[in-house]
């Protein structure tokens, strides 16, 4: 497995800002696929529209850049007819919680056997800082005149409440943990969701700290705590497979 360096120079350079969590996510993905010895031709990654979706141009797999919020439907269709492929859907918080929440809930309901990786940067980044449904309450964002008046939706809680069997929340800074969780998720037979908390280094840098603490406490009781404090003060969880 190699990072794409072919074609024009412009295309080999990722579009992410310095410090962006997507660097570590793309690196972790690359490492996991290499460790599991999965051939690039047998890996399909369906990308959302957004900064993280630009991994399309970086990872040397069967990459398919879909539409905003629509990576899950495309991934489900692929997996339905080609069971031997490793099918990953990538989503941003905007694509998952705003544009395509419908697909998230129903893929869980059907237990579609795909891996979902959510790059949660807490904000609409590519369109320059409007609040998404993951933006913390009281945060200052560019889509409202006041402080964000509404509380964020929790990806892991939505997953748990709807019966997902594999749920994980991983901080951007813990590469080892991220790799081990992605590896488990890919091998998991059923719908697996991994939320990566990677606050946008540009638009989320002034978000109130209190909200991160709230983010770290899923309310769903069926989420089985397997880890504790980590670098950014966030927790990660894995659901019981037969829960």
Contact 191/108 with Cβ under 8 angstroms?
yes
222 binds other proteins (CB under 8 A): no
Please identify, using beta-carbon distances, which residue of 89 and 235 lies nearer to other proteins: 89
Give the binding range for other proteins (CB under 8 A) out of 58-66, 137-145, 210-218, 221-229.
Answer: 58-66
36 binds other proteins (CB under 8 A): no
Virtual torsion, Cα 179, 91, 97, 234, nearest 10 deg: 20
Contact 32/186 with Cβ under 8 angstroms?
yes
201 binds other proteins (CB under 8 A): no
57 binds other proteins (CB under 8 A): yes
Give the binding range for other proteins (CB under 8 A) out of 24-32, 56-64, 194-202, 228-236.
Answer: 56-64
161 binds other proteins (CB under 8 A): no
Please identify, using beta-carbon distances, which residue of 26 and 148 lies nearer to other proteins: 26
110 binds other proteins (CB under 8 A): yes
Residue 103 CA to residue 96 CA, distance in Å, equals 8
Residue 97 CA to residue 195 CA, distance in Å, equals 12
**43-47 and 62-65 as β-strands: parallel, antiparallel, unpaired?**
parallel
Contact 130/99 with Cβ under 8 angstroms?
no
Contact 52/4 with Cβ under 8 angstroms?
no
229 binds other proteins (CB under 8 A): no
Three-state DSSP class for residue 71: helix
111 binds other proteins (CB under 8 A): no
Please identify, using beta-carbon distances, which residue of 39 and 225 lies nearer to other proteins: 39
Contact 47/55 with Cβ under 8 angstroms?
yes
103 binds other proteins (CB under 8 A): yes
Please identify, using beta-carbon distances, which residue of 32 and 139 lies nearer to other proteins: 32
> Tokens 């809680």 identify what position?
157
- Residue 68: other Cβ atoms inside 10 A: 17
102 binds other proteins (CB under 8 A): yes
110-142 burial by CB neighbour count: b if 16+ within 10 A, else e? eebbbbbbbbbbbbbbbeebebbbbbbbebbbe
Binding-site member from 22, 24, 66, 132 for other proteins (CB under 8 A) = 66
75 binds other proteins (CB under 8 A): yes
Give the binding range for other proteins (CB under 8 A) out of 50-58, 124-132, 138-146, 152-160.
Answer: 50-58
Binding-site member from 25, 44, 116, 197 for other proteins (CB under 8 A) = 44
Provide the binding-site residues for other proteins, judged by CB under 8 A. Answer: 6-8, 11, 39-44, 46, 49, 54, 56-57, 60-67, 70, 73-82, 84-85, 102-103, 105-106, 110, 112
């Amino acid at each position: 497995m190699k990072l794409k360096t072919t074609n024009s120079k412009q295309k080999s350079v990722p579009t992410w800002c310095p410090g962006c969590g997507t660097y570590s996510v793309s690196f972790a993905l690359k490492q996991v696929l290499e460790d599991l010895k999965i051939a690039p031709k047998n890996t399909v990654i369906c990308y959302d529209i957004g900064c993280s979706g630009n991994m399309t141009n970086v990872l040397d797999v069967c990459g398919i850049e879909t539409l905003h919020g629509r990576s899950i439907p495309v991934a489900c269709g692929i997996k339905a007819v080609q069971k031997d492929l490793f099918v990953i859907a990538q989503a941003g918080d905007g694509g998952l919680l705003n544009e395509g929440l419908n697909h998230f809930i129903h893929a869980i309901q059907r237990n579609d056997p795909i891996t979902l990786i959510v790059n949660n940067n807490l904000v609409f980044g590519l369109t320059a800082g409007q609040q998404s449904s993951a933006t913390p309450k009281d945060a200052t964002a560019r889509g409202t005149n006041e402080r964000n008046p509404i509380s964020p939706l929790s990806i892991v809680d939505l997953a748990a409440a709807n019966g997902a069997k594999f749920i994980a929340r991983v901080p951007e800074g813990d590469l080892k943990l991220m790799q081990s969780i992605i590896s488990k998720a890919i091998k998991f037979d059923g719908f697996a969701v991994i939320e990566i908390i990677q606050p946008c280094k540009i638009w989320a840098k002034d978000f109130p700290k209190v909200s991160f603490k709230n983010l770290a406490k899923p309310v769903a009781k069926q989420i089985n705590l397997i880890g504790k404090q980590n670098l950014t003060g966030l927790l990660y969880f894995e659901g019981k497979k037969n829960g």
